Amino acid sequence: MSKFNEVTYEVMISEQEIGETLDTLAAEINSEYAGVDNLLLVGLLKGSVVVMTDLARRLSGDVHFDFMTASSYHGGTESTGDVKIVMDLANSIRGRHVLLVEDIIDTGRTLSKVRELLLSRGPASLKICTFLDKPSRRVVEVPVDFVGREIEDEFVVGYGLDYAESFRQLPYIAKVNPA
């Protein structure tokens, strides 16, 4: 058990397990997109930036990057249900094969909103990859194509995931017990 800013946390998924999970995810994605040129990886900032860069370096084709910021947690541990697009993509996705990369799916509200928005822009295909999934927390159903690990209903941090903006830099996933 470790402590930071009065918040205690303990390791749930080690750095080594993260690497193994990424290897499996990348193998599935490489197989799905064999023959596709310039797959567009869309990362949802800020949480997905860590997994997206680690995943991209395991992909065999040439991939392009774009980013979007959609926020609903506003620093807390519960989704407000109010998903805001804070920053949009830099480029058009019309006719592109798009893989949306998430760090975690919890209620599904963020992805559901972003998925609808991206589909309305006419991509050639749109699939979803998430490193973590908490299926027991789902409020809105959303189709997920590639899942790294399913976890129980615990608030987790590290590997891009934050609690009040802290902990994103941890190289492992930890569960927190907020003060």
Ligand X SMILES: O=P(O)(O)OC[C@H]1O[C@H](OP(=O)(O)OP(=O)(O)O)[C@H](O)[C@@H]1O
CA distance linking residue 27 with residue 176, whole number of Å: 31
Catalytic residue status for 106: yes
Taking the least distance from each CB to ligand HPA, the nearer of 68 and 104 is: 104
Which part of the chain contacts ligand HPA (CB under 6 A), choosing from 4-12, 32-40, 56-64, 152-160?
A: 152-160
Closest CA to 29 of 17, 20, 42, 39: 39
- List, in sequence order, the alpha helices (H) in 33-163: 49-56, 109-119
> Quick check: 29 binds ligand HPA (CB under 6 A)?
no
CA distance linking residue 129 with residue 97, whole number of Å: 13
The pattern of x and - marking residues 56 through 75 that bind ligand HPA according to CB under 6 A reads -----------------x--
Q: Which of 23, 66, 103, 106 is catalytic?
A: 106
| Residue choice 68, 104, 114, 129 for contact with ligand HPA (CB under 6 A) | 104
Radius of gyration of the chain, Cα coordinates, nearest whole angstrom: 16
Q: Considering CB distances under 5 to 8 angstroms, the limit depending on partner class, which of ligand HPA, ligand X, none binds residue 155?
A: ligand HPA
| Other residues' Cβ atoms within 10 Å of the Cβ of residue 152 | 11
- Positions annotated as catalytic residues are 106
